[in-house]
Structure 1
Amino acid sequence: MTRFRLLAPLVFVSLAAPAFADPAVGLWKTEPDRKNLTSHIQIATCGAALCGTVVKAFDAQGNAVKTANVGKRLFWDLKPGSSGNYDGGTVFVPLLNVTANAKAKLSGNTLRVTGCKALVCDGQTWTRVN
């Protein structure tokens, strides 16, 4: 009985953990890039921040394609703030082969992801897949 009392809180916390997941965690679809490809980005918690990895890529007709970017980390160290804002991270822009400062804004099932290098900023609005 003593073991049960010691283990019960651990079991409860492990079962409740998914309820505390960051709302941006999940699978997201990008806008078409300059090659007219879209990607699915898996956002996960990485320590106290978020990171995103390219898990699939698709051509304009929606057919899965193999690219060198599948499996690559697209952004990391993106820290949650208030009101759906995230910042302090780094994003890798594959088409330009550069890294930039990253921030994001979550609003329902859309995530506006922006990268800034010096005074130049650009971004995309992603939609939730799941």
Structure 2
Amino acid sequence: MGKFTMAALILMATAGTSLAEPLLGTWRTAPQDDGTMGHVRIAPCGAALCGTLVVSLDPAGKEVANPENGMLILTETRATGGGEYRGKIYAPDRDQTYASRLLLEGDSLKVSGCVLGICRDGGRWRRVE
């Protein structure tokens, strides 16, 4: 088997694995303290998953400009089994990074994070796409 054929097979196998990852896609965050929300797109980044804030929404759900759009919200996220994921989550409203725990339940994602023993419930995110 030639080098090109082997590389193509590896690429196809990797692509199939990525497509099967149920966390991939865009998720609407739970409202923050001020009622604002966002859309976070989760995609592969190296051996882990990352989530980028791609859209910001006002309390009425209308898209608004936000300098935080494009910011990485989820990093180093990996499946740990049973629909659970662990990694890091950045909360722009608190300017704080937490150790994250995500629990996938269909099109709902229960989000929480802890730093120095202090935990924060991030609410439920809903799949947009």
- State the TM-score, normalizing by the size of structure 2: 0.85
Letter in 1 for 2:34: K
Instruction: Name segments (4+ residues, structure 1) moved above 4 Å.
Output: 6-18
- Give the structure 2 partner of residue 95 of structure 1: 93
- Give the structure 2 partner of residue 128 of structure 1: 127
Q: Map Cα deviations across residues 25-83 of structure 1 (whole Å, 9 max, x no partner).
A: 11000111112111000001111111111000111222110112111001200111111
Q: Equivalent pairs: percent with the same residue?
A: 30
The count of residues paired between Structure 1 and Structure 2 equals: 126
CA distance in structure 2 between the partners assigned to 1:99 and 1:12 by the alignment: 38
Q: Which stretches in structure 1 are left out of the alignment for 5+ residues?
A: none
Which of 1 and 2 has greater Rg? 1
- State the TM-score, normalizing by the size of structure 1: 0.84
- Give the structure 2 partner of residue 31 of structure 1: 30
- Is the aligned partner of 1:119 residue 2:117? yes
- Give the structure 1 partner of residue 40 of structure 2: 41
Q: Map Cα deviations across residues 83-116 of structure 1 (whole Å, 9 max, x no partner).
A: 11111x2211111111111121111111112110
**Equivalent residues in 2 for 1:1-130 (5 A)?**
11=8, 14-15=11-12, 17-21=14-18, 22-87=21-86, 89-122=87-120, 123-130=122-129
Cα-Cα RMSD: 1.9
Secondary structure of the residue aligned to 1:19 is helix
CA distance in structure 1 between the partners assigned to 2:88 and 2:10 by the alignment: 31
Letter in 2 for 1:96: R
CA distance in structure 1 between the partners assigned to 2:15 and 2:26 by the alignment: 15
CA distance in structure 2 between the partners assigned to 1:11 and 1:74 by the alignment: 32
CA distance in structure 1 between the partners assigned to 2:13 and 2:25 by the alignment: 17
Question: How far off is 1:13 after superposition?
Answer: 5.4
